[in-house]
Amino acid sequence: MSSAGRATTVLHYQLHTCAVREVPVALLLHGLGSCGDDWALQLPALLPRYTVLAPDLRGQGDSPMPAGWPTIEDLATDVLALLDQLEIEAVHLVGLSLGGAVALQLAADTPARLRSLTAVNTFARLRATRGSLRRGLERTWLAATGRMDELGRRVADGLFPDDGQEAFRAAAAARLAGNQPLTYIKLLTAVSRFDLRPRLGEIRAPTLVVAGEQDTTVPFGCKLELAAGIRGARLERFAGSRHVTPLDAADRFNARLLEFLGCVDQGIAISAAAEQEKEP
């Protein structure tokens, strides 16, 4: 995939430069309905070792949504164009949910641009359970009727239901409520049409698959599928974490991410450990 071959959207982004020169770039891609601010708890951990690039995906945050109905490949092309614009050759790519799907697309299409891939609570094909199908239909109905405040509240309650998560819950509700209804429906449609399963074997980047064990948004089987389909991938399970593991298990997530990126940067093989962690 070349950014010159498809129409692209100019993305808003945050670039946090490490004080140390000539360090790798970590590119962080957020989930549906949110923006690059999702990664605030990762910045203190990453910036001593990495420059961090956190864009808002098409139609999210401060990035526009052009006319038409985008695909995940379109969102990936936007990100590739941003890397070209900033003259960044290769990145450690970290994607959550929708951002993870975009990351998988990039990993399959442009392997030379990835140092590594971290796929967080994401999917090659989102297979709906009865509960997730009901929630998806509910979100579509709320968006179609313009009730984004109620959509934001319901989704945020599901992501962060516990005592002590009030700040996360309020921030998620506000970001989701700020989405344009049609934009949200367009991105939900892009997610529903995405299917990269036939191409998982093409991904060659060292890969870490992160799975929140209490995630009710993306079924655990989708994460097992990634770990099994991507050669040498390691599956890391986070007990007690739901869908937004970088927030609700930030310390554990940051430690595991830094360990993984450090192994990649030092050329330490992870495939043997990956085989031990895969489910039978």
Q: 98-109 vs 181-193: helix axis angle to the nearest 10?
A: 50
In the chain, pLDDT over 70 holds for what percent of residues? 93
pLDDT tens digits along 16-39: 998 888 899 999 999 999 999 999
pLDDT tens digits along 231-248: 999 999 999 999 999 999
Q: Show the domain range for 214.
A: 13-126+194-277
Collapsing DSSP to helix, strand or coil, 54 comes out as strand
Helix (H) or strand (E) holding 235: strand 234-238
pLDDT tens digits along 108-163: 999 999 999 999 999 999 987 776 778 888 999 999 999 999 999 999 999 999 99
Contact 39, 11 (CB under 8 A): no
In the chain, pLDDT over 90 holds for what percent of residues? 86
Name the domain count of the chain: 1
Residue 178 counted as domain residue: no
Whole-prediction pTM value? Answer: 0.93
Task: Count CA atoms within 13 Å of residue 223 on its CB side.
Answer: 30
Residue 161 counted as domain residue: no
Distances (CA, A) of 89 to 111, 122, 127, 267: 11, 25, 34, 18
Residue 111 counted as domain residue: yes
CATH number at residue 34: 3.40.50.1820
Residue 84 counted as domain residue: yes
Contact 245, 38 (CB under 8 A): no
Residue 236 counted as domain residue: yes
Residue 204 counted as domain residue: yes
Closest CA to 24 of 2, 48, 56: 48
Residue 39 counted as domain residue: yes
What does the alpha-carbon distance between residue 238 and residue 236 come to, in Å, rounded to a whole number?
7
Residue 5 counted as domain residue: no
